[in-house]
């Protein structure tokens, strides 16, 4: 355990004191428009749900081990196969298939840390990953963006920057962790340079990079080092950026993902190993079968990370859902998705690893379906003991679009979840026996001293939900949640203030980006 982990207080170990409403990200919106608690990570105060018995969990583990031992997994990277063969895996000459016995897998996975700290440019935004800590990150990696005014459109840098600003503004978003939308108006050879530089300048939260080849990994890791003011030696001992490693289900880890594991592990940075297992498509149609495949693939990637560098920080990712068997389209927020999230959490705890889940939906607009599926996804993630919950604000269309109004609606949901996870105050004053005595039978509590001292901050104040009665609401024009979310995202952007950045760091980032662009960035075939 590092010194940082031992001394960290999880930002605010005690629940935030009620009444401490303040602006988000340096804004001046006031408490009425955007009531927020200070930046802090929620904690799991309730035991995760055990969806299956210990024996049933072991049956999934055993089946996963049989898959890795008997069927094996393709590793599309010559160096990775050589490393695995040296470590004792079965690799036949000229073949990409790797078979690992369970003892090897279990021994390697056991080397991974159960929790660790992730450093942010603003040290008040450092994150604990694992244990009872929760991280909410916003939508990432969508090709399109949508709002009422501009409609659905391809990702671009302007909208990319706006979504980063929203991720900074709202304290319940602990880190953006990805490009909220892919800015396709920046050439792919240099896109990562501009995007990571934008993330450093527009936010002061933990950084993310994509594993799309060695050069992009090296560039992203170096930019994270500069942003955090670390020496190369300090960087290896200080996780400050993460990447998501997606297996190509079924049973394949491709070259960019394996190279990403290698580069991140060697640099002491975080890999979130997440199979994308859709039951009925790239995974067996049963939830148990899909989880068996997910577990085998996740453990293979995590084991390999520990082979590269024992103790490398990793996260067990679960993204198992099902498809619409009529169309083949991915479905999210389904009963099967929730079941998979619960069992994935059990599996992660079995291996003593942090658990990543997601708050996702398949809805095409901000409607009942979007609210229902996102809420159910979040409920599965929270009750599954999720530590890192990705795509928690703004995800639409099965991940094909990032929605501005959806972002705001989800912020309201996340803040409600955080309030639900705030320990209940059962102090003598909160028990209110004296107030009950003063009012007695048949009275009311509106005017009591106890109520007057607390009413302003007694309950969670929603930012999208409308609690007015019908007549007052109708007189105001009968606004919907969509109407209010459209107004609020614009107000948040007006209120946003860019976080301070050391001028010397800013200059070093510019120099690095300019030099890499002059060198041509990353070679592409277009």
pLDDT tens digits, one per residue of 193-233: 999 999 999 999 999 999 999 999 999 999 999 999 999 99
Given a cut of 60, is residue 6 above it in pLDDT? Answer: no
Q: Does residue 250 have a cis bond before it (omega within 30 degrees)?
A: yes
Q: Give me the chain's average pLDDT, please.
A: 94
Tokens standing for 435?
């107030």
pLDDT score at 33: 79
pLDDT over 70 (residue 336): yes
Sign of CA dihedral 471, 472, 476, 478: negative
In this structure, the chain runs to a length of 526
- The angle that helices 368-383 and 404-420 make with each other, rounded to 10 degrees, is 40
Q: Is the pLDDT of residue 181 over 70?
A: yes
Statement: residue 90 has pLDDT above 80: yes
pTM metric for this prediction: 0.94
Q: Identify the helix (H) or strand (E) that includes residue 283.
A: none
The mean pLDDT value for 317-335 works out to 96
What pLDDT does residue 302 have?
98
pLDDT, position 255: 98
Residue 246 to residues 2, 294, 474: CA-CA distances in angstroms? 28, 11, 48
Chain centroid offset of residue 353 CA = 16
């Amino acid at each position: 355990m590092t010194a940082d982990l031992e001394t960290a207080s999880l930002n605010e170990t005690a629940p935030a004191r009620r009444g401490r409403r303040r602006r988000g990200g340096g804004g001046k919106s006031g408490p009425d428009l955007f009531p927020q608690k200070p930046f802090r990570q929620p904690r799991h105060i309730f035991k995760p749900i055990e969806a299956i018995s210990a024996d049933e969990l072991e049956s999934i583990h055993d089946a996963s081990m049989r898959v890795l031992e008997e069927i094996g997994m393709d590793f599309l990277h010559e160096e990775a196969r050589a490393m695995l063969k040296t470590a004792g895996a079965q690799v036949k000459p000229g073949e990409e298939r790797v078979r690992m016995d369970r003892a090897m897998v279990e021994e390697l996975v056991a080397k991974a840390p159960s929790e660790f700290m992730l450093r942010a440019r603003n040290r008040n935004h450092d994150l604990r990953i694992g244990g009872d800590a929760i991280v909410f990150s916003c939508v990432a990696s969508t090709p399109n963006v949508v709002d009422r005014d501009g409609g659905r459109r391809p990702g671009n840098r302007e909208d990319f920057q706006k979504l980063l600003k929203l991720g900074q503004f709202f304290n319940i978003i602990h880190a953006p962790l990805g490009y909220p939308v892919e800015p396709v108006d920046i050439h792919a050879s240099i896109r990562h340079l501009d995007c990571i530089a934008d993330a450093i300048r527009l936010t002061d939260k933990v950084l993310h990079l994509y594993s799309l080849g060695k050069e992009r990994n090296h560039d992203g890791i170096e930019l994270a080092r500069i942003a955090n003011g670390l020496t190369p030696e300090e960087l290896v001992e200080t996780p400050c950026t993460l990447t998501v490693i997606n297996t190509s289900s079924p049973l394949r880890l491709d070259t960019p993902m394996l190279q990403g594991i290698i580069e991140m592990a060697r640099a002491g940075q975080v890999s979130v190993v997440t199979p994308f297992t859709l039951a009925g498509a790239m995974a067996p149609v049963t939830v148990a079968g899909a989880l068996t495949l997910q577990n085998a693939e996740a453990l293979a990637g995590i084991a390999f990370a520990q082979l590269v560098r024992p103790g490398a920080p990793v996260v067990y990712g679960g993204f198992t859902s099902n498809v619409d068997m009529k169309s083949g389209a991915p479905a999210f927020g389904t009963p099967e998705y929730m079941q998979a999230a619960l069992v994935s959490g059990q599996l992660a705890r079995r291996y003593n690893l942090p658990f990543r889940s997601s708050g996702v939906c398949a809805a095409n607009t901000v409607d009942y379906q979007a609210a229902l599926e996102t809420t159910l996804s979040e409920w599965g993630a929270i009750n599954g003991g999720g530590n890192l919950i990705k795509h928690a604000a703004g995800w639409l269309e099965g991940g094909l679009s990032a929605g501005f109004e959806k972002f705001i609606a989800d912020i309201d949901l996340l803040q409600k979840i955080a309030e639900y996870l705030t320990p209940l105050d059962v102090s003598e004053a909160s028990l209110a026996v004296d107030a009950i005595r003063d009012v007695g039978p048949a009275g009311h509590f509106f005017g009591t001293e106890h109520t007057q001292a607390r009413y302003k901050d007694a309950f969670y104040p929603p930012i999208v939900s409308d609690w007015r009665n019908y007549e007052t609401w109708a007189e105001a024009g009968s606004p919907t949640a969509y109407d209010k979310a459209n107004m609020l995202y614009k107000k948040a952007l007006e209120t946003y203030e860019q976080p301070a950045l050391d001028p010397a760091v800013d200059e070093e980032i510019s120099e690095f980006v300019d030099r890499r662009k002059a060198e041509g960035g990353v070679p592409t075939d277009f």
